[in-house]
Structure 1
């Protein structure tokens, strides 16, 4: 990811009402210390969190000193927690581990100048492993003054109930077609490609931008087949996917996204038994991914287990 592609440097498209809600809460003087920003993958949850951070840190003007610091990731009162590189294995971790969360302690011990806000953004909070989640929970239980946490995740049920209870939930909806086109244009898509991707995005342009690559495209086809029809996984397609280091992680991410959306939709329809089944499958998939990564298990076997979990839901 280049600096210009980082969510902190990207404009926010859509979500005007939700941003206005946050601004109103800020202006009220009774701002909640924890916000859980949830919604489908690819709709701009992380961009939204950074937009809120700009309001808190007086960085809305991108050319101001604070604005430039936020875009560059160097603002002293802003900390981003996300998955990091596993230096031993030379690849991105599939979960946020305790070492990723420890810097928050030092960050919060730093006294912000002139009573300014301090902001912690936990991106893809659903990937927190147990130790990291418990460490974050302790911080949320006794937050310092003038500190706000933003957690992004696909659905609140992806996180510990104790963490959810300490956050204000803020759901983001999918984007309109025109907003989707704006995002795609910003990323250099034009002409026929723009029209095709905008139609495929279904309001989540980040998702089609990610799946516009070979590994992700293969994983998307597999995930769609497993989630929509419950078909057995295509052995050749799985083998092709596993030739890529991130193939298993991408498939798990897409399957998890689909299961979370299914659970939410079924619950909204009052089909609580079916929703519970989808939620259990989501939890099983997360556990499988964590264990596979943590103990370096055979991904050939793990990916078939993931396919079985999704197709049985």
Structure 2
């Protein structure tokens, strides 16, 4: 925030910024705050501030994954049709603040065609325009896109700040400690994990990795998770977090082979999650596959 505001005040604002950090850390919230600086809309009660809040500011264009009405969730990718309006938006003269802002939320979801179209804009940026991108997985962006952006990394919140945020969200006192531990400093992530209100999915993940869940119970648990709203998303998020934590611990201990194995399992489960959501695959089967990947047991759930 300070780096952006300083560049703006000095009249040396870079044309593209990449805000990266863990899922749920508040990247989109920060991106909108930066957009408000450029658009003179920091006062929420001002006409400009209200237009940004309402999504009607003429000099702000927000790009994110479209919504799949049939499946009732965001589409798997940001496609060419989603980014096509950017070029026309940047060609025209700013209507209000003299500057134009494009905010791409979740830039890692850009498919190849959309990413290449964006790259052309970054290579020849128009004057008095800034592109703000958020990403929880900047490594999935084209290297040529990353190289043209100034990066702002968001660090996880500490425990006391997380407690204050979760309390403000109205989370019950008896689950806040669990959400702080599982949320890894990301309040948005903690709010999603709160959907596992009784901790059953978290217990299943722990038991699976600790070897205390009987193979015969995996099928029943996977079907329960698949039936629960957002159950699959919560399961894969918790499982991925445990694997990432194990990979870091093994790396710090000098066990390179174990760290690499845990990292491979983490990536495989991320791929499985994306493919399951993209193609609307059977989530119960996907849970069983994720368990097999995480435990190295290809027979899990069979």
TM-score normalised to structure 1 length: 0.75
Aligned-partner SS, 1:40:
coil
Aligned residues: 293
Q: Report whether the alignment pairs 1:138 with 2:85.
A: no
Aligned residue in 1 for 2:300: none
Structure exhibiting the larger radius of gyration computed from Cα positions? 2
Would you say 1:305 and 2:289 are equivalent positions?
yes
* Aligned counterparts of 1:133 and 1:259: Cα–Cα separation in 2: 30
CA contact (8 A) 1:154 1:257 kept: no
Give the direction of change, closer, same or farther, for the CA distance of 1:194–1:272 in structure 2 (3 Å limit): closer
Which is worse superposed, 68-77 or 254-263? 254-263
Deviations along 1:36-59, one digit per CA (max 9) or x if unpaired, are 111122221111111111111111
- Deviation string for 1:2-39 (max 9, x for gaps)? xxxxxxxxxxxxxxxxx111101112222111111111
Q: Residue 242 of structure 1 aligns with which residue? A: 226
> In the superposition, relative to structure 1, how do residues 274 and 190 fare at CA in structure 2: closer, same or farther (>3 Å)?
closer
Q: C-alpha deviations, 1:71-105, integer Å up to 9, x for none? A: 11111111222222113444332332333222223
Q: Does 1:147 align with 2:129?
A: yes
Q: Does residue 180 of structure 1 match 2:162?
A: yes
Q: Is the contact between residue 36 and residue 49 of structure 2 (CA under 8 Å) also seen in structure 1?
A: yes
| Residue from 35, 39, 43 that aligns with 1:61 | 43
Q: 1:268 to 1:170 in 2, by over 3 A?
A: farther
Cα 1:199/1:235, change in 2 over 3 Å: same
- Bigger Cα displacement from structure 2, 137-146 vs 278-287: 278-287
Cα 1:202–1:58, aligned 2, differ >3 Å: closer, same or farther?
A: same
Give me the CA root mean square deviation.
3.6
Call closer, same or farther: CA 1:196–1:302 in 2, change over 3 Å: closer
In the alignment, is the contact (CA less than 8 A) between 1:215 and 1:244 conserved in 2? no
State which drifts further: 29-38 or 45-54: 29-38
Contact 1:231 1:311 in 2 (8 A): no
- Within a 5 Å distance, the mapping from 1:39-188 to structure 2 comes to 39-113=21-95, 116-188=98-170
Instruction: Mark the CA change 1:106 to 1:230 in structure 2 (over 3 Å): closer, same or farther.
Output: farther
CA–CA separation in structure 2 for the residues paired with 1:33 and 1:204: 28
SS in 1 for 2:166: helix
Structure 1 unaligned blocks of 5 or more: 1-18
Partner of residue 14, structure 1? none
Report if aligned partners of 1:77, 1:112 keep a CA contact under 8 Å in 2.
yes
Measure, in 1, the Cα distance between the counterparts of 2:249 and 2:211.
Answer: 18
